[in-house]
């Protein structure tokens, strides 16, 4: 439960546009989000990178690190 709350807290702290992309990424592929939002693939990938950085800054480990 605490991990879920931590994730929710990080999501709440994201700017609205990044939060929307983060929520869409939970259930859709980048290609689907591009079609749904009309944003470019590079814009969605950049947003995903920013979201990932927000989680790392919040103390979530980057995948593949010990």
- For residue range 32-61, what is the model confidence (pLDDT) as tens digits? 999 999 999 999 999 999 999 999 888 887
* Burial letters 34-50, b for 16+ CB under 10 A, else e: beebeeeeeebeebbee
pTM: 0.82
pLDDT for the residue 50: 97
Q: Cα torsion at 59, 54, 1, 17 (round to 10°)? A: 180
Q: What's the mean per-residue pLDDT of the chain?
A: 90
Mean pLDDT of 13-32: 96
Rounded (10°) angle between helices 41-57 and 30-37: 120
Q: How many Cβ atoms sit within 10 Å of the Cβ of residue 62?
A: 9
């Amino acid at each position: 439960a605490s991990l879920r709350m931590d994730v929710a807290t990080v999501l709440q702290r994201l700017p609205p546009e990044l939060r929307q992309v983060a929520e869409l990424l939970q259930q859709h592929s980048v290609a689907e989000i591009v079609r749904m939002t009309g944003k470019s693939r590079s814009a969605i990938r950049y947003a995903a990178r920013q979201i990932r950085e927000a989680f790392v800054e919040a103390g979530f480990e980057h995948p593949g690190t010990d």
